[in-house]
Structures are given as C-alpha cells and as structure tokens.
Structure 1
Amino acid sequence: MSQPRARAAVFSAGSWGTAVAKIMADAGSDVMVHARRGEIAEAINTRHLNPAYFPDVDLPVSLAATTDPAAALDGADYLVLSIPAQTLRANLAVWAPDIGPDTVIVSLMKGIERDTGLRASQVIAEVTGVSEDRVAVLSGPNLAREIMDGRPAAATVACPDEDAARRFQTACHTRYFRPYTSTDVIGCKLGGAVKNVIALAVGTASGMGLGDNAVALLITRGLAEITRLATAMGAHPATLAGLSGLGDLVASCTSPLARNRTFGVHLGHGLSVEEAMAATRQTTEGVKSAEAVLDLARAHDVEMPITEVISALLNDEVTLDEAAAELMQRPPRPER
C-alpha cells in the first residue's frame, strides 16, 4: 500500500522558496506556494513557471500557488518559511492561527532578528507557541539558480526531533538534491547566518581587487569566527565543518550567484549601502544581520574581527581602505 503524498505549504514565491517548492514537488509532495502577488500565483497555476525569478524553468504540475495564507496552510504537513528574517515575527503572528497542530515548521531563513538576537527557529517557536521539536532548519550550499537547473546539491536538515528530521529529509530527497540530518539546530542556523556576513567581507575584498590570497584569508578566518560563536552558544564544532557551515560558506563566498558576495562586490567598487542594495535587487540577510551577530558575539565574549569591521563599514564608521587596514594591522597571534 502506497504512502499518502505529503502536503507542503511554502511561504514565499521568491528564488529560494520557489527552488525548495520545486524540490519537494519533484520528491513527490503536493506543494502550495503562498505568493504575495496575484500575478505570480496566476502564472504558477496557469503557465507553471515563476516569471519574476525563473521564467525559463518549467515547474511541476503538482506545484500550485495562492495568495490566501489560510488556503495554503490547509492540511499542510510542512510549513516551509522563506521570507526575510526581519519580517518573520510580524508575518508569522498573522499566519499562526491557521497552522495545524501537527504541522512541522521548516525555516529556510539565514538571518538573526536585530532587536532580539534570536535565530529564526527561536522566533518561530516564540510566536506560534509550538515546541522547538516541531521546528526544523534546512541549510547548506544551495544556490537557487543551480538547483532550478537540476544541478547536484546537498543540505542539512536539522531538528531536535530526529524522526521529524528524517521525514522532512524524505520529503526533499530527489535525484539532484541530497539532504542529510542533524539535531544541531544552533550550529546549522548560526553557520547560515554568520556566513552571510563573511560573504559580504569576501565580496568587498574582491570588489577592491585585493586578490585571491585575501579571499582565502577571509574564508578561513571567517570560518574560525563562525565556529567560535556557534560553539560558545552550544553548537557542535563538527557541524561547522559540514554542509551548513563550511559548505555554505564556500558557496556564498565564491559564487557570483551569491547575493551577499554580490552586495560586497558593489561595496568594494565604491557604492554606498543604499546603492549596493538597489544594484543587488534581492534581500541580503548579511546586511540586516551583521550588527545582530556582533551583539551576540559581545554577549558571549567572542572575538569576531571580520564581523566587527563589516558592521562598521555598513554603518559608515570606516572607509574601505580603513576596513582593510584594520584587519591586517591586528596584533599577530598563534593560529590556534
């Protein structure tokens, strides 16, 4: 006897939300995407494509869309959230009454809430009142464009409830997308959030023409910063050497498809934060989260010089040349 098809509600119809919706539909789930814009929902339903992000990619027929959040959530086994981290709390407060009692909530967000320093999974539990055992995280080196093209990728599904992690692993396992499981939600979330800040630094260095040695330096020492903060907050060090740590960091720091790196390149070319934002044209979580990450580092007495310099650069407290000099003029010390 065949198992009933899982039902997933994916909020929103942006690039990463659309990619995960496609993954889950290809894996055999019935997927309903919640789109804010009626024309996007109509295009998904009638033409089976998302004209705003992937007009050249056919979407599975088992993937539909609606602008009605209650309709999207009706009967959903999974609620997959892919919205800007800074808007999560307000939006979730509106949607929470329609979330089913057994729905597993999956966070795709890689940001830290600025006012509270909370990870998205913590915000979800706080706003909805659900146990954190029902909140999972999907994180890894996942560039949406490549996934939409069916190129191979992998990610980590982290959840305190191992059975829930395994079920969601099955719900998003396809011939091109391989998920692994973990119970280390803290490590997966911080790996994804802090790598955005490091990718800003790498992009800025690239835009300034500082060379590949500087890029390698920032990636390596950036991983050290991520690991220091994550382990201070309770993560397992091995998580940061995995897909949601090193893997995500490398993809975000080296690919021209990565939006945080792209934003940094614009900064390195001399654009202001506002000009870089307009040129990047997508939500750049590192810009929104840099100060919150630095606040977490200070609260846990963790040294994060790259994050500190990037936060200062974003706040116009240092120039590009001063930022580069500040990192290189730090007192020498043992590597470990």
Structure 2
Amino acid sequence: MDINISNRIGVIGSGSWATAMIKMLTDNQSEKEIYWWVRKQEDIDYIASFGHNPSYLTAVEVKIPMENISPDPKYVFDNSAIIVLNTPAAYLKDALKDLTAEDFKEKIIVSAIKGIIPDENQIVGEYLCERYQIAEDNIIVIGGPCHAEEVSQEKLSYLTFGCNDVEKAKLVARFYESRYINTIISDDTLGIEYGAVLKNIYALAGGIGHGLGFGDNFQAVLISNAIREMEYFMDNINPSGRDINASAYLGDLLVTAYSQFSRNRTFGNMIGKGYSVKSAQLEMNMVAEGYYASGCIQSIIARHQLDMPICNMVYEILYNKSPAMKEMNILAQKMN
C-alpha cells in the first residue's frame, strides 16, 4: 500500500497522553502510517506480547505494527513527516538530546505537551523554534479540554489544534477526528500553550483548597478568579482578540480543576492534606505538570511585574514551603 510521506506520523512519548494519542490516530479512518517512540525496550517487548502499554492506559489496545515501535527517537523522526511530541515538558530535552536541527527539517511538529521547559522557562513552541530552528508556521499545538482516561473509554472529547498556518492545523486535525473526537481550529498558538501551563497551576490551587477542607462554594470562586487571572496574564504577554471563554482556555481549565482524572488537582489535594512535594510525587508516580510550571512561570510574572495572586500562592506553598492554610487564607481575602 502506497502512503504519501505527508501521512507518516510519529509520536514521541509513551505515557498516558501519548498512549491516548496512539489510540486516537489508529481509530481515525484516514490512511496513514504511525511510528511510536517508546523509551523502554521492556515496554516494547510487553506490547509485542500483550498488545497494551504495561504502565499507562493498560486497557487500550495497541494496533500499530511492532516494527513501527522503537526506543530510538531518530528512527521515528526518519520515518515520519509529522512529529507529535508527547512527553512531560521536564523530560522533553532528554528525549530529544540526540537529535539536531537537521532531523526537524521540513517536518510539521505537533506539541501535545501541556507544560513549560524548566531552566529555559519557555513554552514548548518557543523552545523548539530557538533550539531546532523550526519555522513558527510548522509548529502546531494541541489543547483540550481532553483527558487521556476518557479517550481510552471513547467518551466524546474535543481537541483544539492551533497554528499560525491554520491550513496545517486542519491537515493534522483530520488525522484525529472520529466518532468520539471532535476538533477545533485556532491560530492562537501562544494562548493555547500558556493557557495549558496556567490551568495546571490553577488546578493545583483547587486541589490544595480541597485538601485543606475548603468546599465547592470556595472552589467556584477560586476558578472564576483563575480564568480572569489567566486572561490578565495573556493580555500582558501576548495580547490578541482571543475569547478566554473558549474551550481551549476556560474549558481546559474547568476539566483540569474538577475532573477525577486530573493529576494536578490530585497533587494539590495531597499537598493540602500535608504531603511534602517529594512524598506526593513518589506516591503519584506520575508527573503533575503544574509543579514545574509554577516554578517556571514565576520568573515570567516577575519579569513583567504582573499581579498574579493565585500563581503566587501556589509558588509560595510548593517552593518556599509556606504553610498551605496560611497562604490560602491570604488568597481568600483577595478574591471576589
């Protein structure tokens, strides 16, 4: 079967969201070839034997040929025209460490990463443009609201595809559409990325409040203040005509703040109950992007001299070890 090179899609990452990506791509009816970078050879061996990821979304059947799954990211890059990056933001540099700008040349790069690159304090799109000389028009970002667990259950979900070149966003989106995946097209790449970073911090705040014993009434006020704080941040960093109430911003914030599947809410809840950061990370055994995002976004807030009380509260609790109840009570007096 001849497949045009533009229909060759590679996925970098093997966690729950990456596994959900594999499911979405294989359930879509468009003609394509899919390649998958799975970091551990033992996981690849397990997939070969049982047809499932042994660590994440274990009920999802892997339906791509085993010869297309490799622990070598360069193999996936060499065989793909569209590359979907789907690792935690903190691990992206390590995943790409053996690749050069030449490997990215003439490829469409899709970031499904909802985080910020530590050390550089850059969203993924900015980091890729600077490090690998990728044209902005060749970078697409995927936003929610969408949790991997609901994708695995084939519950109706929505993905937002953002790109400066909306025709490229449409091209990639069509590979994801199915009876349970609807897609939305946007040209607000920066807004989608920053929204994804901030909503994780706000979900952490909500989780901390819940762990401390604050109720749903407080949570509603917290999240309504959070969407206004997000809009204030974006208007200062990247002003545009975006509608902050759109699914990629408010919708993604709501699902991350309230869903039982939200890692960031779960992480925050543990902090509110008295767990240390380290003990919460060990018990979860999954990455809560909001923790890293909180440390990174703080430098951006300081650089632009922004007033971000919710972000500041989370940072004080996580990084300066200030008592959670003290900080939440201070925040409560500032909200309206």
Instruction: Give 3-state SS (helix, strand or coil) of 1:191's partner.
Output: helix
2:277 is equivalent to residue 276 of structure 1: no
Report what 1:156 is aligned to: 160
2:215 is equivalent to residue 211 of structure 1: yes
Report what 1:22 is aligned to: 23
Q: 1 CA distance for matches of 2:33 and 2:303?
A: 43
1:37/1:98 Cα in 2 relative to 1: closer, same or farther (>3 Å)?
farther
- Amino acid in structure 2 at the alignment position of 1:22: K
- TM-score under structure 2 length normalisation: 0.93
Q: 240, 244, 259: which one pairs with 1:236?
A: 240
- TM-score under structure 1 length normalisation: 0.93
- How big is each residue's C-alpha offset from its partner over 1:98-118, in whole Å with a ceiling of 9 and x where there is no partner? 635321011111112232321
- Amino acid in structure 1 at the alignment position of 2:108: V
Q: 137, 140, 152: which one pairs with 1:133?
A: 137
Q: 2 CA distance for matches of 1:282 and 1:166?
A: 31
- Amino acid in structure 1 at the alignment position of 2:298: L
Q: 2 CA distance for matches of 1:239 and 1:192?
A: 15
1:104/1:260 Cα in 2 relative to 1: closer, same or farther (>3 Å)?
same
- How big is each residue's C-alpha offset from its partner over 1:229-257, in whole Å with a ceiling of 9 and x where there is no partner? 11211143534321221111011000111
Q: Does the 8 Å contact 1:74/1:98 carry over to 2?
A: no
Matched residues, number: 331
Report what 1:257 is aligned to: 261
Structure 2 residue runs without a partner (length 5+)? none
Q: 290, 297, 308: which one pairs with 1:304?
A: 308
Q: 227, 230, 238: which one pairs with 2:231?
A: 227
| Greater CA drift, 314-323 or 132-141 | 314-323
| Greater CA drift, 76-85 or 185-194 | 76-85
Q: 2 CA distance for matches of 1:41 and 1:226?
A: 40
Q: 34, 39, 58: which one pairs with 1:55?
A: 58
Q: Does the 8 Å contact 1:93/1:128 carry over to 2?
A: no
Q: 2 CA distance for matches of 1:23 and 1:17?
A: 10
Report what 1:6 is aligned to: 7
Pairwise CA distance, 1:213: 1.0
Q: 2 CA distance for matches of 1:94 and 1:125?
A: 17
Pairwise CA distance, 1:38: 0.7
Q: 1 CA distance for matches of 2:107 and 2:116?
A: 23
Report what 2:92 is aligned to: 88
- How big is each residue's C-alpha offset from its partner over 1:17-54, in whole Å with a ceiling of 9 and x where there is no partner? 11112111222332111011112122334432111112
Pairwise CA distance, 1:286: 0.6
Pairwise CA distance, 1:129: 1.0
Q: Does the 8 Å contact 2:101/2:131 carry over to 1?
A: no
Instruction: Give 3-state SS (helix, strand or coil) of 2:58's partner.
Output: coil
Q: Does the 8 Å contact 2:295/2:319 carry over to 1?
A: no
Report what 1:176 is aligned to: 180
Q: 2 CA distance for matches of 1:133 and 1:45?
A: 37
Instruction: Give 3-state SS (helix, strand or coil) of 1:248's partner.
Output: helix
Q: Does the 8 Å contact 1:139/1:244 carry over to 2?
A: yes
- Amino acid in structure 1 at the alignment position of 2:45: E
| Greater CA drift, 169-178 or 259-268 | 169-178
Report what 1:200 is aligned to: 204
Pairwise CA distance, 1:68: 1.6
Q: 2 CA distance for matches of 1:14 and 1:305?
A: 32
Structure 1 residue runs without a partner (length 5+)? none
Instruction: Give 3-state SS (helix, strand or coil) of 2:54's partner.
Output: coil
Q: 101, 110, 113: which one pairs with 1:109?
A: 113
Q: 165, 169, 177: which one pairs with 2:169?
A: 165
- Amino acid in structure 2 at the alignment position of 1:120: V
Q: Percent identity?
A: 27
Q: 2 CA distance for matches of 1:205 and 1:237?
A: 32
- Amino acid in structure 1 at the alignment position of 2:123: R
Instruction: Give 3-state SS (helix, strand or coil) of 1:99's partner.
Output: helix
